[in-house]
Structure 1
């Protein structure tokens, strides 16, 4: 009978799949190493086993111990599978930018999940780096994995992933392209491939908000490059020991929007349901297309499964909120379609300024049209009210008509967005759209900016 003794024996030997439509503009053979075929649905299964086995061998991890790790979710899943099979407890420390699906999956496989804020310095006691270390110090019989600096991470890919790719391509691979986070995959695979053929090019995919690309090119760790970003699984605000920059031929950076858009494209155009870093890799691959020749064999690695991003990149509302959804915005109503059914908030000429302020606070808005029995006669916004207050501290008890500005311009349904945009100025922060049924809606600068692709 042909069977595995446990789930860990099914890790590895993932397929190479030819990409077609999505890489049509690349004049080379492009193959995807689809790591979702691992039991934990990500490449991280490989190094999770290796790190734990090495820690067991040298006594860092003892029977019945607790494994503690800061993770973006995928390493945690791999560790969880090993912990289940080998009888360990697991605490995963995760940043709040990671998808809810990742957190729920970790809990489903028995991990305790501790969530930390994303937008803090690595040295901040609230960061998931700091919290992981603290928990390891406080928890008896525990072992802190530290996938960033644990060289068993890259060794797993040197021993497994690299040889698989070499064998599957019959040594014909010319380029390896992969997202860089902890650095284990690119360094381990890169080391093996370059030992086999020093001419193989190793390209890393970075994200905006990360330090890798500039550090590789200049040797400068520029803290000004560090800021919060949405893309998951790649990029860092630290320099992990697993990143061997000497093995990497170059980096290209991919925006959050492009990573998200191409994550969806892979599913729609290739039928491969993979995660956020795969989208970044494909967009990065296209950015590098001038480096590839017709006879080249390019391998791009897809880290994880799209199932972990159903509430994010594969959710239209989430994409639309961030301006990532590629929709055709040509008319006035297009920019407000998500809230066009909401009632227009107005204030009457004889109401007090305090009433307008109260409405702004309640509905979290900055501009309000002013009406009387004849229709729209004026407008107020935060700037008007602030200036009025500076001039007269008792302004809150005055009627709106004493502080209001000109009424907002009114456009009809179907008005081209270019025409609407021209109506905005220093003196005018909003436009009203006549919905044709006796009601109106407001278009703000924020709505116009949100429609920019």
Structure 2
């Protein structure tokens, strides 16, 4: 018998006690961890938890990872589960934050710009992208110069100015005109760079220091055209960000995705990511009056009926809806080739009435591009029938549409009257 300095039964009791102690400790820890996990799981249902798991280093850390919300009133009315990606919760108020950040990051990676050296980012935009460019530029150490049509909601100009951007308003004209807002932004960037180079040459005189390849010298004070319509960093922001988020949030269970197109980056990036993973997924384009994209998807002809002589009421795309609709094919929209299954036309009256319906039914205060997406969801829900899951983008809040889309007097002046009727009967 082994000598332990005590009686055998004492040794046995000690060993049993140790074993029981270990078991109790492990069990207790397991129970505590299980309770914690349950608490976290429950908290994850709280929207405030979704965006507060980590401490971000700057405002840029708040971009993306937006919640996917069930639009209860539309879901109950149609029998489909209609989900909206709450992109208006991005710090700049729209999905364009993703685009602006990726465009600027890509330009930095290529050595085209460098922060805190006097570089200026130029962009032509109807508002939201400009706001995002201004915000990200300020956060990263750049100046922003935004060229905008002069017929947009007044609060967009005010936001741009408050964010420190130079705001240049121009009359809306066709893309073939050199003073069209996108073309002008590009020429402003080129002129800015040329002026800086000329000043640098004057400072260097005839010596060859002006021709050196030093990155600091080349980047100092340069002008960079963001080019949201043709720059595929736009598409990539949604292909690598928004698309994967939606797939994860839905566990890949989606029957239809619905979105409008301005630059085409959103619908292209998301559909190109989701379609290979969900083969039966249907992609639908929503288009406002005056845009040619509807006919391009339906009939492969880029044409809008408002292009007829004497038919156009306003400039460019003939609609009160801002941020979507186009009469040309961009590089970003081209990335959706073969992916969009069908297109839906939405009237101004339907968009305006939907926005007011959502405020009345569930306090959801949305902008114009979000409203037409929701109209599209109802149309497709009726087409597919109950039991399907439909996802769309809630791009913007109504807060930057107060002077036009949400202004009853403005709507009357343009003969846009919200429809009356029960429930969703206003949707044709």
Normalising TM by the smaller chain, what interval? 0.7 to 0.9
Q: Equivalent residue for 1:259?
A: 351
CA distance 1:322–1:24, shift in 2 (3 Å):
farther
Question: Whole-Å Cα distance in 2 between the matches of residues 2 and 216 of structure 1?
Answer: 42
Q: Contact 2:285–2:342 (CA<8 Å) still a contact in 1?
A: yes
Q: Equivalent residue for 1:135?
A: 188
CA distance 1:9–1:327, shift in 2 (3 Å):
closer
Q: Equivalent residue for 1:231?
A: 321
Question: Whole-Å Cα distance in 2 between the matches of residues 53 and 185 of structure 1?
Answer: 18
1:178-197 residue pairs with structure 2 within 5 A? 178-197=259-278
Q: Contact 1:211–1:225 (CA<8 Å) still a contact in 2?
A: no
> Do residues 50 (structure 1) and 102 (structure 2) align?
yes
CA distance 1:148–1:327, shift in 2 (3 Å):
closer
**Superposition deviation, residue 216 in structure 1:** 1.7
CA distance 1:224–1:272, shift in 2 (3 Å):
closer
**Superposition deviation, residue 260 in structure 1:** 2.1
Q: Equivalent residue for 1:121?
A: 174
Q: Contact 2:287–2:293 (CA<8 Å) still a contact in 1?
A: yes
Alignment partner of 2:280 out of 189, 199, 211: 199
Q: Contact 1:66–1:143 (CA<8 Å) still a contact in 2?
A: yes
Alignment partner of 2:370 out of 274, 278, 281: 278
**Superposition deviation, residue 266 in structure 1:** 2.0
- 2:230 is paired with a residue whose SS is coil
Q: Contact 2:295–2:304 (CA<8 Å) still a contact in 1?
A: no
Task: Please list the CA deviations of residues 309-362 of structure 1 after superposition, one character each: whole Å capped at 9, or x if unmatched.
Answer: 11122222122222334488xxxxxxxxxxxxxxxxxxxxxxxxxxxxxxxxxx
Question: Whole-Å Cα distance in 1 between the matches of residues 368 and 391 of structure 2?
Answer: 18
255-264 or 34-43: bigger deviation: 255-264
Q: Equivalent residue for 1:95?
A: 149
Q: Equivalent residue for 1:250?
A: 342
Question: Whole-Å Cα distance in 1 between the matches of residues 169 and 185 of structure 2?
Answer: 11
Q: Contact 1:232–1:276 (CA<8 Å) still a contact in 2?
A: yes
Alignment partner of 2:81 out of 11, 21, 29: 29
Alignment partner of 1:150 out of 212, 231, 238: 231
1:50-449 residue pairs with structure 2 within 5 A? 50-63=102-115, 64=117, 65-118=119-172, 120-140=173-193, 141-222=222-303, 225-226=306-307, 227=312, 228-243=318-333, 244-326=336-418
**Superposition deviation, residue 306 in structure 1:** 0.9
Q: Contact 1:207–1:254 (CA<8 Å) still a contact in 2?
A: yes
Q: Contact 1:11–1:45 (CA<8 Å) still a contact in 2?
A: yes
1 or 2 for the larger relative contact order (CA 8 Å, sep ≥6)? Answer: 2
- 1:251 is paired with a residue whose SS is strand
156-165 or 19-28: bigger deviation: 19-28
Question: Whole-Å Cα distance in 1 between the matches of residues 327 and 171 of structure 2?
Answer: 14
**Superposition deviation, residue 23 in structure 1:** 4.8
Question: Whole-Å Cα distance in 2 between the matches of residues 245 and 255 of structure 1?
Answer: 25
**Superposition deviation, residue 155 in structure 1:** 0.6
Q: Contact 2:74–2:378 (CA<8 Å) still a contact in 1?
A: no
Question: Whole-Å Cα distance in 1 between the matches of residues 337 and 290 of structure 2?
Answer: 18
Q: Contact 1:26–1:292 (CA<8 Å) still a contact in 2?
A: no
Q: Contact 2:261–2:285 (CA<8 Å) still a contact in 1?
A: yes
**Superposition deviation, residue 24 in structure 1:** 4.0
**Superposition deviation, residue 125 in structure 1:** 2.2
Which runs of 5 or more residues in structure 2 are unaligned?
Answer: 1-52, 194-221, 313-317, 421-428
CA distance 1:106–1:130, shift in 2 (3 Å):
same
**Superposition deviation, residue 225 in structure 1:** 4.8
Task: Please list the CA deviations of residues 206-265 of structure 1 after superposition, one character each: whole Å capped at 9, or x if unmatched.
Answer: 111111011122222237654432211110122111012321111111112222222222
- 2:295 is paired with a residue whose SS is helix
Question: Whole-Å Cα distance in 2 between the matches of residues 84 and 49 of structure 1?
Answer: 11
Q: Which is strand-richer, 1 or 2?
A: 1
Question: Whole-Å Cα distance in 1 between the matches of residues 260 and 138 of structure 2?
Answer: 28
Question: Whole-Å Cα distance in 1 between the matches of residues 346 and 305 of structure 2?
Answer: 18
Q: Contact 1:211–1:235 (CA<8 Å) still a contact in 2?
A: yes
Which runs of 5 or more residues in structure 1 are unaligned?
Answer: 329-453
